[in-house]
């Protein structure tokens, strides 16, 4: 296990290095000059522009800017926001809990809907319940988040008045109001992952239910509930756990439009504002932090896979 973990870490480090180069290089393709934006009313003064570029190291070659940036990143310093005048690491620590709460709620919704629906659909194959579950799953996968979010606001906020249309209240401040402000965006995000989980759970369960060990368990006279939960479901969940772990990372990274629609001050809104303001350090810091989360979740998925399937520990 230790050797495997060291091998995986050895694979992760080059991946992160390549990602850092791509993140730094691609943001240079963004149109506009940040010095002009920061200069404000003095943007016509060449001396002011030259001073801003020198302070932000924008007058240096790209390779020097990258080396300076990555040397600070490995020390935990993601730079300083040009617009907000705050360390990027502090901004990430402020916004990450918001997006993490939203992603966690979305993931719980996705699991509670997708996994049971997949199990029931597999057990009722080619019956009306199976057709309905597949239709709902296809709806969740195909429906654009922005459209579903707007429709939910119109229904539950404008028409029924049950939930606030936008905003965010921290969980530590008011748990009930926090739940009220995040339940709609969490459902919007979780619906797509629920559809994916349902389809994969159904396929994995159909494969498991056709195995010899399941037929043997039924031949022994075990109740169907025991056969499904103890024998079939446990083996079927192996690929689903891996998919779910990666899906959680997708929820963290895919909350951009949802947070904009519901005015939630999380990672998504932070990076959109940073892109519009040409705040390169924030864009780089948020994207790199998201990449780190994805890579970490991939490692967690592999570890969970090995924990569920003991045969892999001998590999």
Residue with tokens 């592999």: 302
Confidence of residue 314 (pLDDT cuts 50, 70, 90): low
Q: How confident is the model at residue 146 (pLDDT cuts 50, 70, 90)?
A: confident
Q: Are 194 and 201 in contact (CB under 8 A)?
A: no
* Nearest residue to 133 (alpha-carbon basis) of 237, 203, 227: 203
pLDDT of residue 260: 78
Structure tokens at 310: 């003991």
Distances (CA, A) of 264 to 169, 178, 249, 269, 273: 9, 11, 18, 7, 12
Q: Whole-angstrom Cα distance, residue 315 to residue 306?
A: 10
Q: Is the pLDDT of residue 285 over 80?
A: yes
Neighbours of 164 (CB within 10 A): 18
- The residues, any chain, with a CB within 8 Å of residue 15's CB and separated by 6 or more, are 295
Q: Read off the pLDDT of residues 106-145 as tens digits, 9 standing for 90 and up.
A: 888 888 888 888 888 888 887 888 888 888 888 888 888 7
Contact between 104 and 297 under an 8 Å Cβ cutoff? The reply is no
Structural domains in the chain, CATH included, are 2-73 (no CATH), 94-314 (1.10.3720.10)
Beta strands in 99-203 (DSSP E): none
Helix residue spans in 81-127 (DSSP H):
88-123
């Amino acid at each position: 296990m230790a050797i495997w973990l060291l091998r995986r870490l050895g694979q992760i480090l080059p991946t992160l290095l390549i990602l850092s180069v791509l993140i730094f290089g691609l943001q240079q393709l963004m149109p506009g000059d940040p010095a002009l934006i920061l200069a404000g009313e003095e943007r016509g003064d060449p001396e002011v522009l030259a001073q801003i570029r020198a302070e932000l190291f924008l007058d240096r070659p790209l390779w020097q800017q990258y080396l300076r940036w990555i040397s600070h990143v490995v020390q935990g310093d993601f730079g300083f926001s040009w617009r907000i005048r705050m360390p990027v690491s502090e901004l990430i620590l402020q916004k990450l809990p918001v997006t993490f709460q939203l992603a966690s709620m979305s993931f719980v919704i996705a699991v509670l809907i997708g996994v049971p629906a997949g199990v029931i659909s597999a057990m009722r194959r080619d019956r009306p319940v199976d057709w309905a579950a597949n239709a709902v799953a296809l709806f969740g996968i195909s429906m654009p988040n922005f459209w579903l979010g707007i429709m939910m606001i119109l229904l539950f906020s404008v028409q029924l008045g049950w939930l606030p249309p936008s905003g965010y209240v921290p969980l530590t401040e008011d748990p009930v109001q926090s739940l009220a402000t995040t339940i709609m965006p969490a459902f919007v995000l979780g619906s797509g992952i629920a559809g994916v989980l349902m389809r994969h759970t159904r396929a994995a369960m159909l494969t498991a239910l056709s195995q010899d060990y399941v037929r043997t368990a039924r031949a022994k006279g075990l109740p169907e509930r025991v056969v499904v939960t103890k024998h079939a479901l446990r083996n079927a969940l192996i690929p689903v756990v891996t998919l779910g772990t990666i899906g959680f990372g997708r929820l963290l990274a895919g909350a951009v439009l949802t947070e904009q629609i519901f005015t939630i001050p999380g990672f998504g809104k932070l990076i959109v504002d940073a892109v519009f303001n040409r705040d390169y350090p924030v864009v780089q810091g948020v994207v790199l932090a998201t990449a780190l989360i994805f890579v970490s979740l991939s490692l967690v998925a592999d570890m969970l896979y090995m924990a569920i399937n003991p045969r892999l520990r001998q590999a």
